[in-house]
Structure 1
Amino acid sequence: MEKENMTTLHTYVDQAIDRAISEKRIVGTVVQVALGGELVYSRAAGFADREQKRTMAENALFRLASVTKPIVSTAALALISQGKLSLHDPVTRWLPAFRPKLANGQDAQITIHQLMTHTAGLTYRFFQEEQGTYERSGVSDGMDLSELSLEENLQRLASVPLIYEPGDMWRYSIATDVLGAVIEKVTGMSLRESVQLLVTHPLHMTDTDFVAVDSDRLTAAYADGSEEPRLLHNQLEQVPFIEGTAGFRLAPNRANQPSAYASGGAGMVGSTGDFLTLLETLRQGGQPILTEAVATEMATNQIGELDMPYWPGRGFGLGFTLLKDPVAAGTPESPGTWRMGGTYGHSWFVDPKEELSVAAFTNTALEGMSGQYTTDICDAIYASIREGKEAARI
């Protein structure tokens, strides 16, 4: 990217960040952009902890929530690359006791592929109504501070009827927690040790773990408020989600509790830079942790034309959404772009066509996951790219 176009990118992204902070939509953020394999933008802004007046730092640690999913999915794909696991394996090959039934009482078979594509018949407690089946059975979403072990949580999950026949629908779900248990069985190690061995250590992601590696760098957690974001205290906090659903139950102090079960869907803590390293590794073919064929499969739509609620114009690969129709999605991203986010206030996307990877982490739920901020950051980056291309043609 030419120097003047770099200046444009910095200006536009800075404006998007400054606007969100001045309008008190977010408390703090770290945004990093890689283009053509180079880090072209990195900025920390706002407060890591507003009450303590601790400014945000580029190496700040965030509760990753669903940003955990692509990390754990990559660990499973590393095992597939090594021939130790297959997408076609029934889950019961590895977890013989995990046998949730259909609502009519019939048996159902779930595959590893269905876990990784969220077509396994599962859901999340926060998507259900108050006192839904998961809540009544005491299933943890992986973001509260439950005393449950992973095995106990899966026992509870298996006691609840599936919400659809596996393979028939796409519904975002707790499936990656089940995948985490599969990974443990395949490796004979804890999920934490498995992810270290398969992903974080080979990529030198030293900030990323199932607990904060340095509690002094951990950001405070906030949620959308009427005049400014409200501080989430360490005890269980309710954060409304979609009208008619139970919403999120967040225990920010989980990030400092080694005793909390390792949630493959929501339990990790890490830095923006570490996650950008993973995105760039996957974008460039997956080496040294995945074969190129497996990395390509990860970024290929796996669910055909199944409808994805809340994600118009997108399909799903093996761990994240994939853009099929930019018009339907209302985005400037190129077809084939990968994107996901995290409840505590994160968004990220990879546009392989533009050789672009972006990680925009905040400490503010849900603005940083699905609010105007995510749109503003995306629009700013593509506006600078578009202007650069137009300038090059003149």
Structure 2
Amino acid sequence: MLTRDKDIAGLSKRVDEVINKAIENNKIIGTVTLICKDGNFIYKSVAGYADREDKTKMELDSIFRLASVTKPIVSAAALVLVSKKIIGLDDPITKWLPDFQPRLMSGNKPSITIRHLLTHTAGLTYGFLEPEGGGAYKKAGVSDGMDLSGLSLKENLKRLSSAPLLYKPGTNWCYSIAVDVLGAVISKAYEDSLQTLIKTLITDPLKMTNTSFDVIDKQKIVAQYLSCSPIPKRMGDKEVAQVFEGTAGIVFEPARAFDTSAFPSGGSGMNGTAEDFLYFLEELRSGDFLLPKDIKNEITKIQTGNLPLTGWPGRGFGLGFTILKDPKEANTKESIGTWRLGGAYGHSWFVDPIEKLTVVSFTNTAFEGMDGQFTVDLTDAIYG
């Protein structure tokens, strides 16, 4: 445990070495990495470039395209509505989206609940996880929420509903576009746009002034890079990159961040700073403003039983992020119960409730900053 000044000094030295090495070896271009212990900052690093070509240095308030870092924010907003009795975890989503009734391969239309969406057990997937060349989602023209599709959210959900479910809801787990559907549900329930809902319930109360669906200050947003050999390449207008070999790959169109007409993707559409997101995580870990204790306990309880999580060995899923079950299987020094997720544009974060530790590391380099060796080395350095 980090209990003494010398422990924290040792941590700072180790983490500095990891970050400096990753930048020197061209693994990442730039990063903002923040660590809190028991509610107090014990480490802040702002390193490398926000824009390599323009030699613009990274700043503490640099804005990042959040990608899946959006998910816990939208999930928390849904849980605020649960706490207010506006929605229920086990309510069928047809209560708000009557036309969203995707079928199983058998032709049956099973009930999908809000809990299924929060836990990625709804039977949905992502187009980027389909086999190389595409599958039902590509055929239907479904947007994963990171491209300039030109679609409305209503049209995207219509297309998504036309594709078959992978399995009966609640019987399996697959990382998915479910939080985009969740965003549509809570918007209907709240009777306002998702942008307004998030601003009213989450970002304004927590003073997350640099976090939103629309980029607040275009001068502060980082340039995007893609891990390549020998050095990361600057993303063009459109890049397709595989998270897993043999899959269709994510369609990255960084300009989506500036398109005010783009539909608000609850799973990947927000932009923000590392500091804002750390404050959000700290509120979930130890605050009492957003959610009552019973809801907070439900968030961090494994909801998926013994279902395996592809890409996340040793972990289960709570209401918005993974929960560590078996550190040995996960090959990590994190404590049992640690929350973790990431973002495809190059972000990783975790909260270790036992150690009262909150870590946010945003980079502008996909996928190294999300799940590359940098994230492994960073975690090892933190725990010593």
Structure 1 moving runs of 4+ over 4 Å: none
Number of residue pairs the alignment of both structures matches? 381
Supply the distance in 2 between the matched residues of 1:9 and 1:304 (Cα, whole angstroms). 34
Q: In the alignment, what sits opposite 2:220?
A: 217
Supply the distance in 1 between the matched residues of 2:73 and 2:293 (Cα, whole angstroms). 17
Aligned-partner residue type, residue 262 of structure 1? P
- Out of 270, 273, 279, the position equivalent to 2:272 is 270
SS in 2 for 1:34: strand
Q: In the alignment, what sits opposite 1:49?
A: 51
SS in 2 for 1:108: coil
- Out of 157, 164, 167, the position equivalent to 2:167 is 164
- Out of 146, 149, 152, the position equivalent to 2:152 is 149
Contact 2:127 2:134 in 1 (8 A): no
Structure 1 residue 4 displacement after superposition: 2.0
Q: How does 1:62-73 map to 2 (within 5 A)?
A: 62-73=64-75
SS in 1 for 2:268: coil
Supply the distance in 2 between the matched residues of 1:131 and 1:2 (Cα, whole angstroms). 53
SS in 2 for 1:179: helix
Q: In the alignment, what sits opposite 1:388?
A: none
Q: Which runs of 5+ in 2 are unaligned?
A: none
Q: In the alignment, what sits opposite 2:40?
A: 38
Structure 1 residue 238 displacement after superposition: 1.0
Supply the distance in 2 between the matched residues of 1:244 and 1:313 (Cα, whole angstroms). 23
Supply the distance in 1 between the matched residues of 2:6 and 2:108 (Cα, whole angstroms). 63
Query: What does the per-residue CA deviation read over 1:69-106, in whole Å, with 9 as the maximum and x for residues that have no partner?
Result: 00000000010111111001001011001000101111
Q: In the alignment, what sits opposite 1:193?
A: 196
Structure 1 residue 42 displacement after superposition: 0.9
Q: In the alignment, what sits opposite 1:177?
A: 180
Supply the distance in 1 between the matched residues of 2:147 and 2:367 (Cα, whole angstroms). 16
Q: In the alignment, what sits opposite 1:386?
A: none
Structure 1 stretch displaced more, 238-247 or 86-95: 238-247
Contact 2:66 2:270 in 1 (8 A): yes
Aligned-partner residue type, residue 155 of structure 1? K
Q: In the alignment, what sits opposite 1:334?
A: 335
Task: Calculate the TM-score normalised by the size of structure 2.
Answer: 0.98
Structure 1 residue 288 displacement after superposition: 1.1
Supply the distance in 1 between the matched residues of 2:125 and 2:109 (Cα, whole angstroms). 18
Structure 1 stretch displaced more, 118-127 or 291-300: 291-300
SS in 2 for 1:339: strand
Q: In the alignment, what sits opposite 1:229?
A: 232
Contact 1:145 1:236 in 2 (8 A): no
SS in 1 for 2:108: coil
Aligned-partner residue type, residue 253 of structure 2? A
Aligned-partner residue type, residue 200 of structure 2? L
SS in 2 for 1:357: strand
Contact 1:32 1:43 in 2 (8 A): yes
- Out of 124, 127, 131, the position equivalent to 1:125 is 127
Supply the distance in 2 between the matched residues of 1:82 and 1:39 (Cα, whole angstroms). 32
Task: Calculate the TM-score normalised by the size of structure 1.
Answer: 0.96
Contact 1:32 1:360 in 2 (8 A): yes
Identity in percent: 52
Aligned-partner residue type, residue 203 of structure 1? L
Aligned-partner residue type, residue 277 of structure 1? Y
Structure 1 stretch displaced more, 238-247 or 64-73: 238-247
Q: Which runs of 5+ in 1 are unaligned?
A: 384-394
Residue 27 of structure 1 pairs with residue 21 of structure 2: no
Q: In the alignment, what sits opposite 2:247?
A: 245
